[in-house]
Amino acid sequence: MKLADLFVTEAMDLSLPEMTKDETLNHLASRFNLSGGVSDVVGYVERLQAREAQSTTGVGDEIAIPHAQHESIQEAAIVFGRSNSGIEWESFDEQPAKLIFMIAAPEGGGGEHLQALASLSSVLMNPDAKSGLLSAQTPSEVIDIIRQFDKNEQEADAEETVASVESNEDEYVLAVTACPTGIAHTYMAEEKLIQAAKAQGVNIKVETNGQSGIGNRLTRDDINRATAIIVAADKQVEMARFNGKPVIITKVADGINKADELVTRATKADAPIYRAANADENAELADDGEGESLGRQIYKHLMNGVSHMLPFVVAGGILIAISFFWGINSADPSSPEYSPIAQALNTMGSISFAMMLPMLAGYIGQSLADRMGLVLGIVGGLFANPSILTAFNTELGVFEGASSSGFLGALVAGFLAGGVVWLLRKAFSWMPKSLEGMKTIFLFPVLGVAIMGLLMLFVINGPMSAVMTGLVNLIDSIPREASVLLGFVVAAMMSIDMGGPINKAAYVTGTALVTEAGGAGSDVMAAVMIGGMVPPLAIALSATINKNLYPKAQHSSAMVNYVLGAAFITEGAIPFAAINPLKVIPSLAIGSGVAGALSMFFGSVSYVPHGGVFAVLANGVTNPIMFLVSWLIGGLVGALLLVWLLNPKNEAVVEEK
């Protein structure tokens, strides 16, 4: 479907009155309702507002693109509104929005939704298109303008992105654009670079690494012909192919705001020569990060793992949480509460969680060493916690009882995978190129998996087991009279590595005390459980207090942590702890410790080892009101510490420097 066909002419308003952002959303949604586009205006507006709460859709340059999906929408559509005076939209450039494009999509219609966003963002980068929309007098004129510039984009794409300009025939610039979400900024940078190159009479081709995949992929011939390559990206892209060429590596924002400067530098080949880790054409190492700080390289590799892990965390957490509605023990066939539906949901959620650590380690490894890094990282993630194999009904054999290093071990495994691949390449560099296929198909996988397994089981996991034993002994050494201190310690331990040995030391202790109590319950178990409930709550609260605290792509996942915290699914906080562990983990540990101490102080006792809020509703925890109050206080303490320590302005200053 062409972009112009998505516009609903009867819902347009070219003279919006002075109003707030929320009033504008309601106004446009009501007009959309009158045209028959949406039946549930309230529900759709709530989705729009939820999207705005994640991060503003005011993209700057007097443009806002609010967007959301809803089940009462049958077909994707765009409702256009124009304000002559401008509406405050909290835009990135602090300008009020005059052109508002409200994108509506049916539930599950993500493809049309993203395609409309990408196409619209590209069109609006053309100054003539914006000027025409500001002066259009009728809805039909708006449609004509959109059709004109969208048509030009489609028909002249090959000419503009690979333009043949007689005056500078020898200058050929390539570019790659990519942002974490792969929607607006990816295509805005593309359009700005094309405009800058056209103004300078330079041939350019731009590859977009967007949400729907790679568009306009650069070919080997393109790279050979190129004067230089501009990589404007905030996530990992394929880099080994640029070996030996001048490469400018920068942020995607620079592709939008500094396009002229970047194109000028590229035409002069004013950039360092990029050297891939392996000059061979078949090199699998994706990027050695030349030209970037060590911190930024680590951040990009880490984010690659976190972004691929997130869907497994969310899917597993929600499915397990839903299974609790049938009762705490409903997934146990031997329990009177047993429900096959609950068991099925719990099993599916457990399997999704079982894939979390392998995905984290695997995609860190993939970012460092492409396919081979992915293989070794997944294996390392599995060995970080061998017991997760039981989720697949797999016999552990000789690995039965092997110690676990949790998500911290998975982080190590991901980076270790890149190191192992690098060592294997060095060790077999003497082999002739004719045997290159044997290395990647046979030698590297076999040796790499064996090395990773041995390192994880006998080097990484081993010391962590000793740490776990020491922590259990620490808990046992605390006098029972010092209950508040004990509650603080065991609850804080639940937040330090969230599923790793420290967390397990506290949880196993609490579970053992519940078992030994013979039905009387345990106050330590209550403190342990509340300690595991605080980290997701603190993440969600901090994201609510400061919507710019985390990367935009993770804001929705942060909101899901309200549910995960209520269900005692601590792992929901792992992706956020992985990004900045030195600031996030202490904040969560203090918040959990406060909650655990309060739980002990109020005398809450848990009769069950799991369930969170659902255990409270099922009368599994005594003094339930104060237990929930303790949870909320601990979550708020952790959230405020996160807001204080993770100051986006400070991060931005460091990034700029």
**How many CA atoms, within 13 angstroms, populate the side-chain half-sphere of residue 76?**
18
From 456, 437, 445, 457, select the one nearest 421 (Cα to Cα).
445
179 an active-site residue? yes
From 537, 404, 512, select the one nearest 463 (Cα to Cα).
404
Number of continuous H segments (helices) and E segments (strands) in the chain = 26, 10
Please, what is the angle between helix 406-427 and helix 501-516, to 10°?
140
Q: If DSSP states are collapsed to H, E and C, what string results for 173-184? A: EEEEEECCCCCH
**What is 372-430 written as a DSSP string?**
HHHHHHHHHHHHHSGGGGGGGT---GGGTT----HHHHHHHHHHHHHHHHHHHHHHTTT
- In angstroms, the CA 464 to CA 150 distance is 58
Per DSSP, the three-state class of 237 is coil
Phi, psi of 424 (to 5 degrees): -65, -40
67 an active-site residue? yes
Catalytic one among 179, 185, 555, 610? 179
- In angstroms, the CA 216 to CA 149 distance is 19
- List all residues 6 or more positions away from 118 whose beta carbon is below 8 Å from its beta carbon: 183, 184, 186, 187, 210, 211, 212
Task: Give the residue ranges of DSSP H helices in 456-607.
Answer: 461-477, 483-496, 501-516, 523-545, 552-566, 574-579, 581-601
DSSP state of 269: T
Task: Give the residue ranges of DSSP H helices in 246-355.
Answer: 252-257, 259-267, 294-323, 340-354
Please, what is the angle between helix 356-384 and helix 294-323, to 10°?
100
Per DSSP, the three-state class of 435 is helix
Catalytic one among 67, 70, 301, 610? 67
- In angstroms, the CA 56 to CA 194 distance is 26
- In angstroms, the CA 54 to CA 51 distance is 5
DSSP state of 458: I
Catalytic residues: 67, 179
